[in-house]
Amino acid sequence: MGFEIEHIGIIGAGQMGNGIAHVAAQSGYSVTMVDVKQEALDKAIATITKNMDRQISKNAMTEADKAAALGNIKTATSTAELAQCDLVVEAATENEAIKKKIFAEVDALLKPEAILASNTSSISITRLAAVTKRPEKFIGLHFMNPVPMMALVEIIKGLATTQETYERVLEVSVKMGKTAATSEDVPGFIVNRLLLPMLNEAAYALQDGVADVKSIDTAMKLGAGHPMGPLTLADFIGLDTCVAIMRVLHNELGDSKYRPCPLLVKFVDAGWLGKKTGKGFYDYADPTKPKPYR
């Protein structure tokens, strides 16, 4: 086989990108994290450091482990710095045009044997792979948020992805301590295909006056054993992300059951995107006591 994955590139320093960088560096990989904004990279390193300190406080990591992991991460504002990577994982914004532009650019820089992966939660892997000259070495690697805590990664083969590429990426996932679920290249894959319509339905239940925010969340927590209620979870994911995924499901599958809830769309139009903007189905002015919208 000859080719070993040792150096992982990550494109995007947002919550997914920094989480993937965290677990990759902690698992002993050399990591180069790239973002167009230097402040996003600085913020990502601060987040990773804080999350590692939390792991230390829970005895899940030592100071020496943390120093070694942070030492494995390099940051850069230019994709040219990814040229030496064996695997590049794109974790940029969930926008097909932006992702295609990134992949066309990075594909041209990489050595022939390098693998390209997307952390997309809903966009076709086959379509993204088609803009590169290595569709057989292109794969979906969808981590869950927050990456350091969530055990799952969805691996998605595009139409051209080879079994060897799949096995290589599976090895990396296992080394990162993740459990893989393999999905066909269909909109939303497994988790979002099942989860997002439920969150959307919770918004419909609120819109239709079935119950208030708190009752919907309490019912699903205590009645279905969910760790957090669907409206809390939607706020956590970001309501803009929820709408974006529902639109992909709706457009690609053409079934009206995937229509984004008008109330959800209205929140996004108002800039109430959930936790990250301080307001969504809950108001987070006092983060210890989020106040329900109604």
| Residues designated catalytic | 121, 142, 154, 192
Render 202-250 in DSSP notation, one character per residue.
Answer: HHHHHHTTSS-HHHHHHHHHHHH--SS-HHHHHHHH-HHHHHHHHHHHH
H/E element, 195: helix 191-207
Secondary structure E strands in the chain: 7-11, 30-34, 73-76, 87-90, 115-118, 138-143, 152-157, 179-183, 282-283, 291-292
Between helix 213-224 and helix 191-207 the angle, nearest 10°, is 140
CB atoms within 10 A of CB 80: 11
Helices (H), 114-162: 125-129
CB atoms within 10 A of CB 268: 20
